[in-house]
Structure 1
Amino acid sequence: MARPRSPLLSVDAIVTAALALVDETGDFSFPKVARRLGVSQSALYNHIANREHIVELMRGRVFATPAPVDCENLPWEEALRALVRTYRDCMVAHPRLVPLLITQTVQDLGVIGIYEDMAVVLERAGLARQAVVPAISAIDYLALGSALDLTGPEVVWAPPEGRFPALSRAIAGLGSVEERAEAAFAFGLDVLVAGVREQVLRTIH
């Protein structure tokens, strides 16, 4: 009698299963990944070291094909806008992955390359060296927060009728979650670029 074929298992299959679980539930576990793939949990350890390894591989997957940005030849403001938008757009399809990404050190070389591009553009803008990391952290706050916003409820604020009139006027007629997230991201990006420009001017003067 022929032996039953064992399910094919690979790093790519494990990452795909884990990312699907995160998209569905916001988290994953080795037992759940194993069940989804139809293998024993111990079989996963032939390909994956630990939970952190999977998270980093998911990070690499999500940021594997960013749109190219000409960081050396575009005006710095245009290059920075393109980089930040590209960075954020890589996460739009997997916003529930964000909480897992921010809990561990970035090691994926492709993602580190994106941060390198940011540093190059900020240096070229004339930002002081000690301000580059704070600027990159602010970019993270904007891009990661914007992606995470896509997991929010349709109604974020529910002030009682007749109270908090300024907020009530501001939220009247807000669009969908996607429209709200895009508007907030565009506003934040404008503020970020203006802030970098202001910091550069202070350095010059």
Structure 2
Amino acid sequence: MAADSTDGARRPVGAVTRASVLSAALMIVDRDGVDGLSMRRLAEAVGRDPMVIYRHLPNKAAVLDGVAEMVFDQLVVDAEDPDWATQLRAVARSFRAVALAHPNVVPLLVTRPLSTPLGMRPVAVVRPLEHILQLLTRAGFTGADALHIYRALFGFLYGHVLNELQEVVERPEESDEVLRLGLHRLPITEFPLVRELAPTLAAYDGAAELERGLDILLTGLTATLPDPAL
């Protein structure tokens, strides 16, 4: 009876679904990174034979696409918000929050959608695009301008989260910012401004950097909004 109980714990009763497989995959990636994910480990995580996994997802590439899809599905855009700039700022904050909650997934968010033709991407990945286009065209932007804005916003967001997740401190025990960042390795005559900004570089604040970048981006976009009176 003990053996049966152990086997039952290892192979839970109930159907395995695509969603349950992807949830398990996301947990593995969150814990061990993309390189820690394999079809064998995924099968072990859901307590099934690997062939069961292949019925839902044919290979690791499909699993990675699905993980990116799951995370993108957490990004909500209110296309009917009358304040388009505030809504874009909310979307940006939400994207950063999701990225920081799943830092090991960020490379997938940046690269997986771009490696697939737009019409073949999961709807969860394309939906933010559609909703942002709706938001901006309702605000008065042309469709082409709305698309440019979407690309500019997400280009900024991808770069921001990748930058925020990078380790910039080389020697955390040092109190001198130049030494902390390893800037003493750079010739002072060639990089005087970089060394001068060492305190600012060492005091990096991801949330503040995001808001400052959005201030610059949204101010510029507001200036391009067509005047409805013309």
Q: Distance in 2 between matches of 1:158 and 1:124?
A: 49
Matched, 1:182 2:189: no
Q: Is the 8 A contact 2:133 2:143 kept in 1?
A: no
Query: What secondary structure is seen at the aligned counterpart in 2 of 1:83?
Result: helix
Q: Deviations over 1:44-91 (max 9, x none)?
A: 11222333432333233223444563x424322222222222233232
**Residue 187 of structure 1: CA displacement?**
1.8
Identical-residue share of aligned pairs (%): 25
Change (3 A) 1:141 1:203: farther
Q: Distance in 2 between matches of 1:20 and 1:73?
A: 33
1:41 to 42, 50, 56: 50
Match of 1:19 in 2: 26
Q: Is the 8 A contact 2:81 2:135 kept in 1?
A: no
Q: Distance in 2 between matches of 1:73 and 1:140?
A: 19
Matched, 1:95 2:103: yes
Residue identity opposite 2:213 in structure 1: G
Alignment of 1:161-200 (within 5 A): 163=188, 164-172=191-199, 174=201, 180-200=205-225
Q: Distance in 1 between matches of 2:228 and 2:142?
A: 7
Q: Distance in 2 between matches of 1:193 and 1:18?
A: 36
Alignment of 1:1-205 (within 5 A): 4-5=7-8, 7-8=11-12, 9-27=16-34, 28-66=37-75, 69=78, 71-101=79-109, 102-104=111-113, 105=116, 107-155=121-169, 157-160=181-184, 163=188, 164-172=191-199, 174=201, 180-200=205-225
Q: Distance in 2 between matches of 1:73 and 1:20?
A: 33
For the pair shown, which has the larger CA radius of gyration, 1 or 2?
2
Q: Distance in 1 between matches of 2:17 and 2:84?
A: 41
Change (3 A) 1:124 1:175: farther
Which is helix-richer, 1 or 2?
2
Gaps of 5+ in 2: 171-180
Gaps of 5+ in 1: none
Change (3 A) 1:188 1:173: closer
Q: Distance in 1 between matches of 2:196 and 2:95?
A: 32
Number of aligned residues: 202
Q: Distance in 2 between matches of 1:103 and 1:204?
A: 42
Q: Distance in 1 between matches of 2:69 and 2:229?
A: 38
Q: Distance in 1 between matches of 2:73 and 2:108?
A: 17
Match of 2:175 in 1: none
Q: Deviations over 1:102-150 (max 9, x none)?
A: 2333633234222222112222343333232232122222222333334
Q: Distance in 1 between matches of 2:92 and 2:157?
A: 7
Q: Deviations over 1:9-50 (max 9, x none)?
A: 432332122212222343122133224444332221122233
